[in-house]
Amino acid sequence: MTAPLAGIRILEVGTMLAGPYATMLLADLGAEVIKIEPPGGEISRQVSDSYFASLNRNKSSVCLDLNSHDGQARLAELVAESHALLVNLKPSAIRRLGLTYETLRRFNDRIVCVAITGFGLEGGDQPAFDYVIQAATGVAALTGEPDGPPTLPGYSSADNSTGLAAALGLLAQITAGRGGQVDVSLRDVMLSQLNYHASAYLNDGVQPQRRPFGAHSYYVPAQMFPTAHGYLALFVTHDGFWKSFAGEANIEGFETMAERVARRDEVLAVVTAALATDTAAGWEARLHPLGVPAAAVRTLPEALDATPEIVVTAGDFRLVGNPIRIAGYQPEHRPPPKLD
């Protein structure tokens, strides 16, 4: 099967995570991605080879000094022959280097220019790293135990999510058949991902709050629970799940979600006591055949060992593959490019 994005050429002036992640996903799907790197290479090459590989497989590399006349001339040649350019730098640098549609349209009026920034192209240059954005948008304040400090989730959720949104915006504008500027910010993406929390506050005046064990605002029981050994994530979102779980756990009553929400503390006490009678792995094995959403908490190595099909080989690197599976299409996995 022909690659879904075969024939699409994308230029990337990316750094670290959000931009390179977006273009790597598109490269996996068949786009030709040319990574434009400064003299000395993109900064994430200095982190580690495996870090760079995790974000840059299936690309080629061109080394250009975009601060020079020759670099700008070569950029213009590439833009004339490309469908899109994606950049993640601070707004002043994007404009200074001429990486906007307003500047590049004279070389190709159908070029799609995607800018990933912290607060938008008009939002200023204040530093906007992933963890800073999680703190600024309410994500950190919602994470952790109620009597503990705000907590970060342990991976770069803002950068990764923004990369996905940027890839979507790029494809949307290409599909529209016209050039233009696409503006995606880490701040806006993370606020968007707080969707139902934000809606509850904006429409009902409900303040978001942290709950023990990461409990869900609307569903009960839907959270982490300690067991005889390990922790279990149990996510009961409707009465059918509850009926199956309660039958296995020998719990009576609380038959409707409305009752379980109204009597949250009672329900959680009963469920916690029941789950303490077996291990997390034991409950997972018992509940899966019943169709009840539950999983023992695993480490990343344990999760990767249990899911070998998600691991791909790109040259000397073993990496997590593209999460988008398209029937009939098997991506190639070329290693990350050497500089230039």
Catalytic residues, by residue number, are: 159
The size of the chain, in residues, is 340
Residue pair 131/190 in contact (Cβ under 8 Å)? The answer is: no
Cβ–Cβ contacts within 10 Å for residue 174, how many?
20
Identity of residue 128: A
CA atoms within 13 A on the CB side of 61: 21
**Greatest Cα-to-Cα distance within the chain, rounded to the nearest angstrom:** 76
Written as six digits, the tokens of 140 are 């950190």
In three-state form (DSSP H/G/I as H, E/B as E, the rest C), the secondary structure along the chain is CCCCCCCCEEEEECCCCHHHHHHHHHHHCCCEEEEEECCCCCHHHHCCHHHHHHHHCCEEEEECCCCCHHHHHHHHHHHHCCCEEEEECCHHHHHHCCCCHHHHCCCCCCCEEEEEECCCCCCCCCCCCHHHHHHHCCHHHHCCCCCCCCCCCCCCHHHHHHHHHHHHHHHHHHHHCCCEEEEEEHHHHHHHHCHHHHHHHHHHCCCCCCCHHHCCCCCCCEEEEECCCCEEEEECCCHHHHHHHHHHHCCCCCCCHHHHHHCHHHHHHHHHHHHCCCCHHHHHHHHHHHCCCEEECCCHHHHHHHCHHHEEEECCEEEECCCCCCCCCCCCCCCCCCCC
Written as six digits, the tokens of 243 are 């009926």
Residue 313: strand pairing partners: 318
Written as six digits, the tokens of 17 are 């995570």
